[in-house]
């Protein structure tokens, strides 16, 4: 009777745990907040109840193995979901974690450590697997729930021997035997625990101390595992993560006594020399031929999917063996990563796991079918358990099967396990940290071994595209979908990890990436990946992976352009042009993801901002034409096939900026892309005009003006200053947008004529005077607006007493116009080398082309200040900034007859100009001559000019100048004086002047006859011919 009760109790326990495990699977589809809370409460209570089964009075050696294993498997399901400990009403989450840890460490020590591993305790194999997996889940739960970082010591095992009561505890030494277990699942999971613990500095120190008595220590042990070709990829991957974590703690460059962290230690028994820190790391990498092994990994990498061979004899035998097992719990055999967990592929090891699907039948035994592999890499024995399917997704992918689920599998000594993309993703993360720790040595090694080129050659955009198309058009069998999905996730994860590595390479040394054999195919694949359509047909997990890959690639492209924009821009543009329309679709999708995927949104806009900025620099430096085709400007404005897409791109960016609040940081990110786009693209300016961006900016300026006035009435200087800074930044951004809308676009300037643009600026003028940066932005805006636009110049002379829409602008002489404010600003005694002073004169140089502006300048006697400009003294023969600014203003003023007369009417102006010809100016040495040249064309000025011996001497001396430009200016000016003015002959018939004219004419005529004539030479000869003819008559 007792035996019957016991059997019923055991069967009931088995069925209950199976039911609870299946129930937890169903919780994975719950989305309602209330249901999630209930499911969490159930999970925590179940975890506490399961924990009680481990707290028995008997010694752990005598546990009932089947019952214990089922309990542990239930605990695996419970702990697989992050936050499983946080729903108890009677116990703190971290307290639950500590109780779990104590119980699990007791089990693992009883069934593994005390029995010297599975070699002596084969019956505990399933218990060991489940316990280790629970510990892995627990490590990540403790990271999330721990109130501080001092929880690693809780993982130490004490010494159980009574004779060793006063010795130091084992620490983490209990993990080391698990790393060399014969079962790859145990190896992988225990290494993943090591990876989780070493994510904290205390874990690195504890694990290193626990490995002191092992040959090679921690660094050598983990390096051996990583480079062991017979190990499966998941095991090697976790070893790479541990090394990556160890490199986070700064390494000393030389031996430091009493240092807590020495890093690797290398001792040469023959010479007796010891190395620590960075030198030891380099010696370790050299000893293990690290980079040669990495290249071998790349050559052995298998990019294909995991397919099925139902005729495989091994598979048949495994099916037969499995079907003979009576005590098999088939509720779970597949573990998958949480789709809503965002995790960096290159920085974190195996983390949270969850159960998402019922067990696959063993008929779906996995076999890796590589299209090409060397004889040494052929896998003759393939494990059934999916953990052995070399490599899984970035988060934990582990089975929860019983020890009978899969027979023991080993890889023969002469075999090489298949290298998978997840392993190379971890290797990229390791290289990333190595590049940070020892940038010069690592960069040199990568360059010599061509490792980056080899890794980049594995980015197969065509394979990725083909797999995604299969996902959108699935095959009849769902298993194919599963494994195609895994393949896509692996490839995308590798792309992300490689992108991070290449970014670090660019930051360390651009030459590591700027190589044609690496950069050209990399850019081609990059833009093909960015052309993938993720809107339709992809499930959320895949879509999230695609978005993450896009984000990392955008960051890589942005870093490339930022570090070497001038040299990389042609390559980037050429690759972009081949997928231009598809990439625009991707960009528009990313721009719209500002809420759900802000990281992707920001990365995309930052790439566009740098791309458009680099194109703007190219246009500025190469005004005529680019040395390559197509350019970004061509793609934006001249490519007929993409006009609709470009309009969609511009509209997306503009709307994304306009619709966001001024306090939203994403508004400024959008503006950083919109500003250079407006500066280089006529299409973008047209879209901005159609979208009423100018009107929106003006409304925002009015709002800022009202807010500034309102805040000025409130007390509190500290708060006031902070608000003013924010408003100043907003105002500056708005004016920069307006400036780029107006840049070389008469249509946009004309649209502003019918608005209160000038009135708004005039009303803001008192605030602008208090902020030099804002004033510079305002003057820059006005310079762009008034350039080659007389109507806009005249608008500044209108009265603007307010912002009322019913107020009409009128001409005024009372000083109530923006033009008067600008003249007043220019009249103030400026500081030396004042930027505001230069920009004010640049603006006035634009404005003097308008008749109204000339009148205001004359009536205010502003031009009289030119006569008092201080000129350099002593040996300094270069004009100052203020003098040059005045010359630019007078040069533009001299283009019209009215302006020419204004200049000559100023008493002393001709003498001042003649004196200034003695000084040099590097950027434009002929400005003074051009002013004198222009005023010679006014009939009213000729008498005064001819009466000034200094001016005549300057012009006649030009004929003998070494500069052809000066010669042409002098000849043209003298001809202008003689034209229709007979009195000029008396002065110019001076023998000295006539001799110069005759000699110059003969010389130029000879030069023109001998050489191919240019338009300037023809005009020069014509001037001299007319001079000779007029003076001879």
pLDDT digits (tens, 9 = 90+) for 13-30: 788 888 888 888 777 777
Burial class (CB in 10 A: 0-12, 13-18, 19+), 488: buried
Residue 213 has pLDDT above 60, yes or no: yes
Predicted pLDDT of residue 3:
75
Distance, CA of 153 to CA of 172 (rounded, Å): 9
Residue 1018 contacts residue 1005 (beta carbons within 8 Å): no
Buried b (16+ CB within 10 A) or exposed e, 198-207: bbbeebbbbb
Q: What is the pLDDT of residues 405-454, one digit of tens each?
A: 333 333 344 566 789 999 999 999 999 999 999 999 999 999 999 999 99
**Most confident by average pLDDT, 58-62, 537-541, 858-862:** 858-862
Q: Give the pair of three-digit tokens for residue 507.
A: 């930051």
Distance, CA of 568 to CA of 520 (rounded, Å): 10
SS3 at position 84:
coil
pTM of the full structure:
0.84
Q: Give the pair of three-digit tokens for residue 467.
A: 């797999």
Q: Give the pair of three-digit tokens for residue 225.
A: 């595992």
Q: What is the pLDDT of residues 477-494, one digit of tens each?
A: 666 788 888 899 999 999
Q: What is the pLDDT of residues 938-947, one digit of tens each?
A: 999 999 999 9
Residue 615 contacts residue 680 (beta carbons within 8 Å): yes
Helices (H), 681-828: 682-690, 693-712, 717-742, 746-753, 757-768, 772-786, 790-795, 818-827
Residue 346 has pLDDT above 50, yes or no: no
At 719, phi and psi to the nearest 5? Answer: -65, -40
SS3 at position 24:
helix
Q: For 674-686, what is the mean pLDDT? A: 96
Residue 959 has pLDDT above 70, yes or no: yes
Q: What is the pLDDT of residues 491-521, one digit of tens each?
A: 999 999 999 999 999 999 999 999 999 999 9
At 230, phi and psi to the nearest 5? Answer: -85, -10
Q: What is the pLDDT of residues 444-470, one digit of tens each?
A: 999 999 999 999 999 998 898 888 888
Least confident of 391-405, 926-940, 945-959: 391-405
Predicted pLDDT of residue 2:
72
In sequence order, the 6+-apart residues with CB closer than 8 A to the CB of 142 are 94, 97, 101, 151, 154
Question: What whole-number percentage of the chain has pLDDT above 90?
Answer: 49
Residue 814 contacts residue 837 (beta carbons within 8 Å): no
Residue 331 has pLDDT above 70, yes or no: no
Residue with tokens 């096939």: 641
Predicted pLDDT of residue 872:
83
Q: What is the pLDDT of residues 255-309, one digit of tens each?
A: 666 667 888 888 877 777 888 889 999 999 999 999 999 999 999 999 887 654 4
User: Which residue, 255, 256, 258, 257, is CA-closest to 266?
Assistant: 255
CA atoms within 13 A on the CB side of 737: 29
Question: pLDDT band for position 702 (50/70/90)?
Answer: very high
Distance, CA of 281 to CA of 263 (rounded, Å): 8
Question: pLDDT band for position 848 (50/70/90)?
Answer: very high
**Most confident by average pLDDT, 7-16, 102-111, 257-266, 770-779:** 770-779
Q: Give the pair of three-digit tokens for residue 777.
A: 């932005």
**Could you report how far apart the first and last alpha carbons of the chain are, in Å?**
146
Handedness of CA 59, 60, 63, 67 (dihedral sign): positive
Question: pLDDT band for position 396 (50/70/90)?
Answer: very low
Q: For 79-102, what is the mean pLDDT? A: 90
**Most confident by average pLDDT, 249-253, 916-920, 972-976:** 972-976
Least confident of 39-43, 335-339, 821-825: 335-339
* Own/partner pairs, 723-731, CB within 8 angstroms, 24+ separation: 728/771, 728/773, 728/774, 730/662, 730/700, 730/704, 731/701, 731/704, 731/764, 731/774
Handedness of CA 107, 111, 114, 118 (dihedral sign): negative
Q: For 866-875, what is the mean pLDDT? A: 82
Predicted pLDDT of residue 1018:
86
**Most confident by average pLDDT, 53-57, 87-91, 161-165, 577-581:** 577-581
Least confident of 75-89, 750-764, 808-822: 808-822
Residue with tokens 């994975």: 28
Predicted pLDDT of residue 572:
96
Predicted pLDDT of residue 725:
81
Check residue 357 and report its DSSP letter. Answer: E
Q: What is the pLDDT of residues 824-847, one digit of tens each?
A: 999 887 665 588 999 999 999 999
Residue with tokens 């992918």: 397
More confident site: 297 or 341: 297
């Amino acid at each position: 009777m007792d035996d019957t009760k016991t059997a019923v109790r055991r069967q009931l326990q088995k069925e209950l745990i199976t039911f609870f495990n299946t129930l937890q699977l169903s919780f994975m589809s719950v989305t309602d907040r209330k249901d999630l809370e209930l499911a969490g409460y159930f999970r925590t209570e179940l975890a506490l109840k399961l924990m009680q089964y481990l707290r028995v009075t008997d010694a752990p050696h005598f546990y009932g193995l089947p019952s214990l294993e089922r309990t542990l498997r239930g605990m695996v399901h419970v702990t697989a979901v992050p936050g499983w400990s946080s729903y108890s009403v009677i116990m703190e989450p971290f307290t639950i974690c500590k109780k779990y840890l104590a119980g699990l460490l007791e089990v693992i020590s009883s069934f593994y450590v005390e029995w010297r591993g599975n070699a002596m305790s084969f019956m505990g194999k399933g218990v060991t697997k489940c316990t280790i997996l629970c510990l892995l889940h627990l490590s990540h739960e403790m990271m999330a729930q721990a109130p501080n970082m001092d929880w690693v010591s809780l993982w130490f095992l004490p010494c159980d021997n009574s004779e060793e009561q006063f010795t130091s505890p084992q620490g983490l030494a209990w993990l080391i035997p698990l790393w060399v277990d014969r079962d790859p699942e145990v190896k992988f999971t225990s290494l993943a625990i090591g990876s989780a613990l070493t994510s904290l500095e205390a874990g690195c120190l504890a694990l290193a101390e626990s490995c002191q008595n092992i040959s090679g220590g921690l660094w050598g042990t983990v390096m051996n595992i990583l480079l062991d070709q017979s190990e499966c990829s998941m095991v090697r991957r976790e070893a790479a993560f541990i090394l990556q974590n160890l490199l986070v703690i700064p390494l000393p460059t030389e031996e430091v006594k009493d240092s807590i962290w020495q890093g690797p230690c290398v001792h040469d028994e023959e010479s007796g020399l010891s190395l620590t820190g960075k030198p030891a790391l380099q010696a370790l990498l050299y000893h293990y031929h690290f980079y040669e092994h990495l290249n071998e990994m790349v050559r052995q990498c298998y990019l294909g999917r995991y397919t099925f061979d139902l005729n495989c004899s091994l598979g048949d035998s495994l099916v037969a063996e499995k079907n003979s097992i009576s005590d098999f719990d088939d509720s779970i055999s597949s573990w998958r990563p949480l789709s809503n967990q965002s995790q960096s592929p290159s920085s974190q090891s195996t983390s949270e796991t969850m159960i998402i699907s019922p067990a696959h039948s063993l008929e779906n035994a996995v076999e890796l079918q590589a299209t090409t592999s060397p004889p040494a890499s052929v896998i003759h024995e393939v494990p059934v358990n999916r953990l052995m399917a070399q490599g899984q997704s970035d988060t934990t992918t582990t089975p929860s099967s019983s020890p009978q689920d899969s027979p023991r599998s080993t890889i023969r000594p002469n075999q090489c396990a298949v290298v998978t993309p997840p392993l190379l993703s971890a290797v990229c993360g390791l290289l990333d940290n190595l590049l940070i720790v020892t940038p010069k040595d690592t960069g040199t090694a990568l360059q010599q071994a061509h490792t980056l080129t080899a890794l980049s050659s594995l980015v197969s955009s065509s394979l990725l595209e083909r797999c995604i198309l299969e996902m959108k058009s699935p095959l009849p069998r769902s298993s194919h979908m599963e494994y195609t999905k895994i393949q896509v996730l692996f490839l995308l994860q590798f792309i992300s990890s490689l992108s991070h590595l290449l970014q670090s390479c660019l930051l360390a040394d651009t030459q590591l990436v700027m190589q044609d054999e690496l950069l050209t195919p990399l850019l081609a694949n990059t833009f093909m990946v960015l052309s993938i359509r993720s809107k339709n047909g992809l499930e959320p997990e895949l879509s999230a992976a695609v978005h993450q890959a896009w984000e990392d690639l955008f960051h890589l492209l942005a870093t490339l352009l930022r570090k070497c924009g001038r040299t990389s821009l042609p390559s980037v543009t050429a690759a972009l042009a081949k997928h231009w329309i598809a990439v625009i679709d991707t960009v528009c999708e990313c721009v719209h993801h500002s809420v759900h995927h802000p990281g992707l949104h920001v990365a995309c806009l930052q790439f566009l901002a740098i791309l458009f900025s680099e194109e703007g620099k190219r246009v500025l430096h190469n005004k005529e034409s680019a040395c390559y085709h197509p350019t970004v400007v061509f793609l934006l404005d001249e490519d007929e096939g993409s006009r609709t897409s470009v309009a969609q791109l511009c509209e997306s960016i503009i709307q994304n900026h306009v619709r966001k609040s001024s306090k939203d940081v994403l508004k400024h990110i959008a503006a950083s892309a919109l500003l250079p786009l407006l500066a280089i693209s006529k299409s973008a300016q047209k879209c901005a005009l159609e979208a009423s961006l100018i009107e929106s900016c003006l409304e925002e300026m009015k709002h800022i003006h009202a807010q500034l006035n309102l805040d000025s009435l409130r007390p509190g200087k500290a708060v006031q200053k902070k608000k003013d800074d924010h408003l100043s930044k907003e105002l500056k951004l708005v004016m920069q947008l307006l400036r780029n809308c107006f840049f070389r676009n008469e249509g946009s300037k004309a649209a502003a004529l019918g608005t209160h643009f000038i009135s708004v600026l005039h009303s803001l003028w008192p605030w602008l005077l208090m902020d030099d940066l804002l004033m510079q932005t305002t003057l820059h805006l006005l310079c762009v607006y008034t350039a080659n636009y007389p109507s806009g110049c005249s608008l500044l002379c209108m009265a603007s007493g307010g912002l009322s829409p019913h107020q009409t602008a009128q001409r005024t002489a009372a000083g109530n116009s923006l033009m008067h404010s600008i003249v007043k600003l220019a009249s103030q005694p400026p500081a030396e080398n004042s930027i505001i002073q230069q920009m004010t004169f640049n603006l006035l140089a634009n404005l003097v082309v308008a008749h109204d502006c000339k009148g205001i300048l004359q009536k205010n006697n502003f031009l009289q200040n030119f006569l008092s400009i201080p000129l350099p003294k002593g040996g300094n023969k270069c004009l100052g900034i203020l003098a040059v600014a005045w010359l630019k203003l007078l040069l533009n003023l001299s283009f019209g007859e009215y302006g020419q007369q204004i200049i000559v009417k100023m008493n002393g102006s001709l003498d001042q100009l003649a004196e200034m010809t003695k000084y040099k100016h590097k950027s434009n040495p002929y400005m003074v001559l051009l002013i004198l040249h222009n005023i010679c064309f006014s009939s009213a000025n000729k008498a005064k000019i001819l009466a000034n011996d200094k001016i005549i001497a300057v012009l006649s001396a030009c004929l003998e100048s070494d500069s052809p430009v000066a010669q042409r200016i002098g000849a043209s000016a003298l001809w202008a004086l003689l034209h229709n003015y007979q009195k000029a002959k008396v002065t110019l018939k001076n023998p000295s002047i006539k001799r110069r004219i005759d000699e110059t004419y003969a010389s130029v005529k000879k030069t023109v006859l001998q050489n191919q004539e240019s338009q300037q030479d023809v005009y020069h000869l014509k001037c001299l011919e007319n001079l000779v003819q007029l003076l001879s008559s």
